[in-house]
Structure 1
């Protein structure tokens, strides 16, 4: 069911049809930036307030840390997961540079992990969600989003068809962006099949749309339910 982002799927489909066309490069970048702006707090793009602002503006710290049902995660985990993946893929695989996450961010966030959180158990997700500093989590995601926008503005039509490199994937593994667990390691294989356009169409856009839709659903459930599967 649709809880977030009316019209964004259609925008994403249109982006998919033009993103690798040489004569549409600048238009595709503008379209990406419009889509990306709708997936981050408005402070990231400087645009008017959006659904992400609405989602987060009145969440209590407690609500970030609830699993409504057995098939869900927490909003805190989702925000970390999508920010971490965007940081890794955009900074290392697209820009051929570095991640933003470092020891100082880890300290400020007050978390025990450096990876995307794909392989965490329910118990580990709950403990992670309990520990993480929500204000710093939002700040990290905002910083990642702003850097993504800067990267995309520099891309050329040639860049869009550039394949993800083995050294880039090796770097992500070396720095702990993924773990050796099966539920985490598969990400490297998934990304290895992409070009830059393919990365832009998934981690910082489609992937985020799906997870934010979940978060909007969970927010509704949290405020309707009297009991939850897990909470702190």
Structure 2
């Protein structure tokens, strides 16, 4: 298995968990939070997808699907178009109220762009420095593994919240 195949498989797994967490739920169910300061499925999936979109666009040198393809307008959230959810308050989390098809549509569009990008990578691409703001500087490999890790954690949280709703 090549590095490109491994990364593609990892992002495919994220997509599977996202669809499993979101599928068949209504907008109000997606927005429900197990506690007042907890995250909803809608926010978790929106956030993990925004992070993937932002970070992969950054390393690929492309525009974000969120703004380039009109998803920000379709979601009509009360946030700046550059917002990824980092540092959101409970009120911000509560503001993410969308239907399942919108969430999975955006996720699928980001997933498709991500897979196109990572499937073309070679092992020689992975040591490239993509962020010098850290010590040590962040390589492409580290950035992509970080996105996979963050996304899987949030997708798992969304699946857990789904279980609470159905419980």
Q: TM-score range by the shorter chain?
A: 0.7 to 0.9
Deviation at 1:194, TM superposition (A): 1.6
Cα distance 1:152–1:106, how it changes in 2: closer, same or farther (>3 A)?
A: same
**How many residue pairs align between the two structures?**
164
Relative contact order higher in (CA < 8 Å, ≥ 6 apart): 2
CA distance in 1 between counterparts of 2:45 and 2:135 reads 20
The answer (yes or no) to whether the contact 1:191–1:199 under 8 Å persists in 2 is no
Gaps of 5+ in 1: 1-25, 42-50, 167-188, 225-232
Q: Name 1:100's counterpart in structure 2.
A: 65
Please name the residue that 2:9 is paired with. 34
Q: Partner of 2:165 in structure 1?
A: 222
Structure 2 segments unaligned to the other structure (5+ residues) = none
Structure-2 separation of matches of 1:63 and 1:133: 9
Q: How far does the alpha carbon of each residue in 1:20-61 deviate from its partner, in whole angstroms, 9 at most, with x for none?
A: xxxxxx6121112112111104xxxxxxxxx44332222222
Equivalent of 1:116 in 64, 67, 84: 84
RMSD: 2.3
Task: Provide, for residues 115-161 of structure 1, a one-character-per-residue CA deviation record: whole Å limited to 9, x for no partner.
Answer: 111222112211x223x454223211110011000001222222100
Normalising by structure 2, we get a TM-score of 0.86
TM-score, normalization by structure 1: 0.64
Give distance in 2, aligned partners of 1:215 and 1:191: 32
Match status 1:84 vs 2:50:
yes
Deviation at 1:191, TM superposition (A): 10
